[in-house]
A and B are shown apart, each in its own frame.
Chain A
Amino acid sequence: MLTVTDVKKSFQSNEVIKGVTLTVKKGESFGLLGPNGAGKSTLISMICGLIPYEGGEILINGKLVGKHHKETKQMIGVVPQDIALYPTMSALDNLLFWGKMYGLSGKAAKTRAKEVLELVGLTGRAKERIETFSGGMKRRINIGAALMHEPQLLIMDEPTVGIDPQSRNHILETVKSLNEQGMTVIYTSHYMEEVEYLCRRIAIMDEGKLIASGTKKDLANRLAGGTVLKIAVDTVRPQFIEQLKAMDGVEKVIVLPENEIDVHMESKMETVSDVILLASRSSVAIHNMQLQEANLETLFLQLTGRSLRE
């Protein structure tokens, strides 16, 4: 469905996309994870044909993005990070307008708008102005506008930013259902749990590069340790850190801001007691301690030394 090969992009002298390659198969749900500034939105903008790319190629169903504008744009539906709707117009008016931009007209547009309103659960509020909607409802119509022309590839750029849990669940369920019906989905977010729930394959981006990609299982296998012991201490002594790294069962030690330390380990109980003992011997006071199963967040931290939400 989508093939991105060695794509690059610079803004003035700043290279923001450094040779990204990825493939999304038809009917797949693909997650793109990364912190703010990783280059996700730039990559999405290039796939949508909003900004030109400088090297490599992007193909949608075999059509080159940038050359076959009409065909590639007609195949995709884009849910932008912003609520790109007309606030003084009704939900129905907005859906009809965006439908017309994709070539729908008359009765077909009206019928499809009704279906979309039902899909996003806002049939009863079709004639109300967008400006009267809650943040979650606006997000749902924002998604609906991208679904008007029944795209083959749905690209969602952080579609759940700043909304209530109920709307978030509704959106996640809607996207899951659309994917189950055969729609290919690219979902970008820095909410790891959303990507884990929705996507079969995931790519992690940082500083303009893909630093890991694969199925959830593939990525889990790359983790240095299955469990993470998160400890908060009064002071981080270099000698204590060195001794931690040298301990049996410890795979990796990451020092975080505010005197927090992540200890990636293979076994649990023995190592935990050893860590406590070592802290006591090194005169390091432990304020807080937490055991966490490794996940994508942990992997990202392992790979970059930074949190996804930074």
Chain B
Amino acid sequence: MKKILSICLFEIKRTFKKKSSIVVMLGMPLLFTFLFGTVFGSDADVSFRIALVDEEQSTLSKYIAQQLMKDEMIIYELVSADVAEEQLSGNEVQGTMTIEKGITEKLRDNEPVIHFQPTAGLATAPLVEQQVNQAIQGVDIYVAAAQVGSSYLDESWESVFGRLIENEVKIQVWTEQKTGISTGNPMMGVSYSSAGFSIMFVMIMMLSMTGTLIEARQVGIWSRLFTTPVTRFQVLLGYFLSFFIVGWIQFFLLILLSSTLFGVYWGPPGALLLLITSLLLCVVGLGMAIASFVKTVEQQNAIGTLVIISTCMLGGVYWPISMVPDVMQKIANFVPQTWAMEGFTTLITEGGTAGDIMMPLFVLLGFAVVFLSIGLSRMKYA
């Protein structure tokens, strides 16, 4: 045990002696959290501004406007058609959104009810359209329910619809209980960025740390270690513990600093501890698996960075996963970041317990078992 601890403590000391480690561990994630958090945040100075025109002025159109305005990423201004046009031509807004007359018929005939006019060359237009479509889908469900309800209750569907949206909160709670799927608002802003960039930079840090296995092999340290009275098990466990502890220190400091600097609430500590531990096991396993396929530290960094950045994109680390097409959302189920983000979202937005994040925990541990098995079975010792 003494030798395992000696290897572990020596590796930790070595990590913290490098100035670059501190930058990757804390500097970069906090900087990215701040930058992305303010761009996507509710308290943002920079966000999408859209002029919203309600041509119908009915209960339904008002409800749609209300749903759209819940979006924290887009700031809507309810204005008249003339003002909207003026704002668009003056580049005061990034687009106009018009809820056109005849919504009921359009919804029934599956026709678009909102007309979106972005400013010329707005690169994020598809993103805004995606958000709008999501809001419309939500409304669609209530309209369908009202139409079915009206045939049973012998009432007009508008009346049923009115009653449904009056009880919207109760219906959402009931739906969540029955389906287990959250119907609440997605996590946004600094909280989202904190979770996302913590995951990404912990992965980068662990990639660099697992690279020490290759470095030790390259410079002959492993060969020398195995001429001493230590076993492979002791050496591997010593290294593994050091990766784990450094990962934990990094997460702890990021949680502490993001709570202090940006006021992020990370959720209940017990469940958070479990989620982070599972994620670290998975990430260390991934690093060891990559290390087992490459020959040099440079290859490890190049391939590892590529894997991390691409899977972070897929896994909703930079932007909410709901913004990407369905196919991508399905593929995202096969990357660990998706499940880590789901776990963090549950803890941060809903203050969930360990029971609420069982699925992400099991999936992350499953990934850990696969990655560690690959890494350990392919590990070259000399």
Residue ranges of A at the interface with B (Cβ–Cβ < 8 Å): 45, 48-51, 69-70, 73-74, 76, 78, 80-89, 93, 97-98, 100-103, 105, 145
CB of B18 within 8 A of CB of A49, answer no
Enumerate chain A residues within 8 angstroms of B3, measured Cβ to Cβ.
Answer: 100-101, 103
Chain B contacts with A in 77-136, Cβ cutoff 8 A: none
Q: Are B14 and A102 in contact (CB under 8 A)?
A: no
Kindly list chain A residues whose C-beta atoms are within 8 Å of the C-beta of B231. Answer: 69
Q: A88 contacts B223, CB within 8 Å? A: no
Q: A98-B228, A105-B2 are in contact. Are A88 and B18 (CB under 8 A)?
A: yes
Assess A73 versus B14: contact at CB under 8 Å? Given A82-B219, A97-B6, A100-B3.
no
The answer to whether B17 and A48 touch across the interface, beta carbons within 8 angstroms, is: no
| Interface residues of A, dominant DSSP | loop
B180 is an interface residue with CB less than 8 A from chain A? no
Measured CB to CB, the closest approach of chain A to B2, in angstroms, equals 7
- Chain A residues contacting B13 (CB-CB under 8 Å) are 89, 93
> A50 touching B223 by the CB < 8 A rule?
yes
CB contacts (< 8 Å) of B225 on chain A: these are 101
Check: B224 CB closer than 8 A to any chain A CB.
yes
Q: List 22 A-B contacts (CB under 8 A).
A: A51-B382, A69-B229, A69-B231, A70-B229, A73-B229, A74-B229, A80-B220, A83-B219, A84-B220, A84-B223, A84-B224, A87-B219, A89-B17, A93-B10, A97-B6, A97-B10, A98-B224, A100-B6, A101-B3, A102-B229, A103-B2, A103-B3
Measured between alpha carbons, how far is A88 from B219 in the docked complex, in Å? 13
| Interface flag for B144 (CB, 8 Å) | no
What CA separation (Å) do A288 and B342 show in the bound complex?
Answer: 82
Instruction: Give me the 5 closest cross-chain CB pairs, A-B, nearest first.
Output: A82-B220, A84-B224, A84-B220, A101-B228, A100-B6
**Which one of B17, B18, B224 contacts A80 once the chains associate, using CB atoms below 8 Å?**
B224
For residue B226, CB closer than 8 A to chain A, the reply is yes
Q: How far is the CA of A88 from the CA of B231 in the complex (A)?
A: 25
Inside 8 A of A78's CB, which chain B residues have their CB?
A: 224, 227
Interface centre among B17, B228, B231 (most CB of A within 10 A): B228
Contacts of B17 in A (CB 8 A): 88-89
Of the candidates A81, A83, A101, A145, the one whose C-beta lies within 8 Å of that of B230 is A101
